[in-house]
Protein backbone atom coordinates (compact mmCIF):
# COMPACT_ATOMS: atom_id res chain seq x y z
CA UNK A 1 0.00 0.00 0.00
CA UNK A 2 1.32 3.41 -0.94
CA UNK A 3 -0.18 6.36 0.87
CA UNK A 4 1.79 8.75 -1.31
CA UNK A 5 0.31 7.21 -4.46
CA UNK A 6 -3.21 7.30 -3.00
CA UNK A 7 -2.82 11.00 -2.17
CA UNK A 8 -1.45 11.67 -5.64
CA UNK A 9 -4.49 9.99 -7.23
CA UNK A 10 -6.83 11.99 -5.02
CA UNK A 11 -5.16 15.30 -5.87
CA UNK A 12 -4.42 14.81 -9.58
CA UNK A 13 -7.07 12.51 -11.05
CA UNK A 14 -9.65 14.66 -12.90
CA UNK A 15 -12.36 11.99 -13.06
CA UNK A 16 -14.95 11.18 -10.46
CA UNK A 17 -17.46 8.63 -9.22
CA UNK A 18 -16.65 4.99 -9.90
CA UNK A 19 -13.50 5.68 -11.93
CA UNK A 20 -12.02 7.64 -9.03
CA UNK A 21 -13.09 4.97 -6.53
CA UNK A 22 -11.53 2.17 -8.60
CA UNK A 23 -8.32 4.12 -9.25
CA UNK A 24 -8.09 4.82 -5.50
CA UNK A 25 -8.58 1.09 -4.87
CA UNK A 26 -5.81 0.29 -7.34
CA UNK A 27 -3.55 2.85 -5.68
CA UNK A 28 -4.24 1.25 -2.27
CA UNK A 29 -3.20 -2.15 -3.60
CA UNK A 30 -0.15 -0.95 -5.56
CA UNK A 31 3.41 -0.43 -4.50
CA UNK A 32 5.06 2.99 -4.76
CA UNK A 33 5.87 2.42 -8.47
CA UNK A 34 2.19 1.86 -9.27
CA UNK A 35 2.34 -1.90 -9.94
CA UNK A 36 -0.11 -4.41 -8.50
CA UNK A 37 -1.77 -7.69 -9.28
CA UNK A 38 -5.11 -8.59 -7.77
CA UNK A 39 -8.37 -10.26 -8.76
CA UNK A 40 -11.18 -8.04 -9.96
CA UNK A 41 -13.40 -9.07 -7.03
CA UNK A 42 -10.76 -7.94 -4.55
CA UNK A 43 -10.34 -4.66 -6.44
CA UNK A 44 -14.11 -4.15 -6.22
CA UNK A 45 -13.87 -4.71 -2.45
CA UNK A 46 -11.03 -2.18 -2.12
CA UNK A 47 -13.01 0.32 -4.19
CA UNK A 48 -16.33 -0.40 -2.44
CA UNK A 49 -18.17 -0.90 -5.72
CA UNK A 50 -19.74 -3.99 -7.32
CA UNK A 51 -17.66 -6.31 -9.49
CA UNK A 52 -19.51 -5.24 -12.66
CA UNK A 53 -18.95 -1.53 -11.84
CA UNK A 54 -15.27 -2.22 -11.18
CA UNK A 55 -15.01 -4.03 -14.55
CA UNK A 56 -16.58 -1.08 -16.41
CA UNK A 57 -14.40 1.45 -14.55
CA UNK A 58 -11.19 -0.53 -15.22
CA UNK A 59 -12.12 -0.70 -18.90
CA UNK A 60 -12.72 3.08 -19.01
CA UNK A 61 -9.47 3.79 -17.14
CA UNK A 62 -7.59 1.54 -19.54
CA UNK A 63 -9.12 3.21 -22.61
CA UNK A 64 -8.26 6.66 -21.19
CA UNK A 65 -4.71 5.34 -20.57
CA UNK A 66 -4.73 5.96 -16.82
CA UNK A 67 -3.75 2.32 -16.25
CA UNK A 68 -2.15 -0.48 -18.22
CA UNK A 69 -3.59 -3.96 -17.60
CA UNK A 70 -2.68 -7.54 -18.37
CA UNK A 71 -4.15 -10.87 -17.24
CA UNK A 72 -2.14 -13.73 -15.81
CA UNK A 73 -3.62 -17.25 -16.08
CA UNK A 74 -6.37 -16.44 -18.56
CA UNK A 75 -9.84 -15.04 -18.16
CA UNK A 76 -10.44 -15.94 -14.51
CA UNK A 77 -6.90 -15.16 -13.41
CA UNK A 78 -5.19 -12.27 -11.74
CA UNK A 79 -5.39 -8.81 -13.21
CA UNK A 80 -1.98 -7.11 -13.28
CA UNK A 81 -2.18 -3.34 -13.41
CA UNK A 82 0.17 -0.40 -13.54
CA UNK A 83 -0.89 3.19 -12.95
CA UNK A 84 0.33 5.66 -15.57
CA UNK A 85 2.34 7.84 -13.15
CA UNK A 86 3.69 10.31 -15.75
CA UNK A 87 0.14 11.12 -16.88
CA UNK A 88 -1.03 11.35 -13.27
CA UNK A 89 1.78 13.77 -12.42
CA UNK A 90 0.93 16.03 -15.39
CA UNK A 91 -2.78 16.30 -14.81
CA UNK A 92 -4.67 18.28 -12.22
CA UNK A 93 -8.24 18.14 -11.13
CA UNK A 94 -10.09 21.26 -12.30
CA UNK A 95 -11.62 21.90 -8.86
CA UNK A 96 -8.40 21.29 -6.91
CA UNK A 97 -6.40 24.26 -5.70
CA UNK A 98 -3.26 23.75 -3.65
CA UNK A 99 -3.96 27.10 -1.98
CA UNK A 100 -7.73 26.96 -1.51
CA UNK A 101 -9.71 30.20 -1.34
CA UNK A 102 -11.42 31.28 1.82
CA UNK A 103 -14.58 29.29 2.59
CA UNK A 104 -17.99 30.94 2.34
CA UNK A 105 -18.51 30.79 6.09
CA UNK A 106 -15.11 32.33 6.84
CA UNK A 107 -15.71 35.04 4.24
CA UNK A 108 -19.13 35.87 5.73
CA UNK A 109 -17.69 35.96 9.26
CA UNK A 110 -14.89 38.27 8.10
CA UNK A 111 -17.41 40.63 6.44
CA UNK A 112 -19.60 40.73 9.56
CA UNK A 113 -16.54 41.52 11.68
CA UNK A 114 -15.53 44.33 9.30
CA UNK A 115 -19.04 45.82 9.37
CA UNK A 116 -19.10 45.66 13.15
CA UNK A 117 -15.71 47.39 13.38
CA UNK A 118 -16.82 50.08 10.89
CA UNK A 119 -20.04 50.69 12.83
CA UNK A 120 -18.11 51.01 16.10
CA UNK A 121 -15.60 53.35 14.49
CA UNK A 122 -18.37 55.56 13.07
CA UNK A 123 -20.38 55.63 16.29
CA UNK A 124 -17.37 56.35 18.50
CA UNK A 125 -16.17 59.07 16.12
CA UNK A 126 -19.51 60.93 16.11
CA UNK A 127 -20.22 60.75 19.86
CA UNK A 128 -17.05 62.22 21.23
CA UNK A 129 -15.68 65.57 20.33
CA UNK A 130 -12.22 66.67 21.37
CA UNK A 131 -13.59 69.86 23.00
CA UNK A 132 -16.57 68.99 25.17
CA UNK A 133 -16.75 65.20 25.19
CA UNK A 134 -20.25 65.06 23.58
CA UNK A 135 -21.34 66.59 20.34
CA UNK A 136 -24.67 68.30 19.72
CA UNK A 137 -26.37 65.32 18.11
CA UNK A 138 -25.72 62.97 21.01
CA UNK A 139 -26.67 65.73 23.49
CA UNK A 140 -29.98 66.13 21.66
CA UNK A 141 -30.55 62.39 21.90
CA UNK A 142 -29.84 62.46 25.61
CA UNK A 143 -32.38 65.26 26.21
CA UNK A 144 -35.00 63.45 24.13
CA UNK A 145 -34.46 60.28 26.12
CA UNK A 146 -34.76 62.16 29.41
CA UNK A 147 -38.00 63.81 28.22
CA UNK A 148 -39.37 60.38 27.34
CA UNK A 149 -38.53 59.10 30.80
CA UNK A 150 -40.29 62.06 32.41
CA UNK A 151 -43.33 61.48 30.20
CA UNK A 152 -43.40 57.79 31.14
CA UNK A 153 -43.26 58.68 34.83
CA UNK A 154 -46.16 61.10 34.41
CA UNK A 155 -48.28 58.46 32.65
CA UNK A 156 -47.58 55.85 35.32
CA UNK A 157 -48.28 58.32 38.13
CA UNK A 158 -51.64 59.16 36.59
CA UNK A 159 -52.67 55.52 36.43
CA UNK A 160 -51.88 54.73 40.05
CA UNK A 161 -54.74 55.93 42.33
pLDDT in tens, the chain (161 residues): 678 888 888 888 888 889 999 999 999 888 888 898 888 889 999 899 999 999 999 999 999 999 998 888 777 677 889 998 888 888 766 665 555 566 677 778 888 889 999 988 888 765 554 444 445 444 445 444 555 555 455 555 555 55
C-alpha closest to that of 2 among 100, 65, 88: 88
- For the chain, the structural domain boundaries read 3-90, 104-159
| CA 9, chain centre distance (Å) | 18
CATH architecture of 3-90: Orthogonal Bundle (1.10)
pTM of the model: 0.55
The residues facing 68 across adjacent strands are 82
Given strand 78-83, what is the order of strands in its sheet?
Answer: 35-38, 78-83, 67-72
Amino acid sequence: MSTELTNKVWVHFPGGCSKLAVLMGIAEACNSEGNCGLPLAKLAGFSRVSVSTAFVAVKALRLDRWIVTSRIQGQGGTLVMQINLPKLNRSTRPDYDSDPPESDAACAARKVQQRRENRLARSSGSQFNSDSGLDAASAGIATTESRGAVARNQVTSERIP
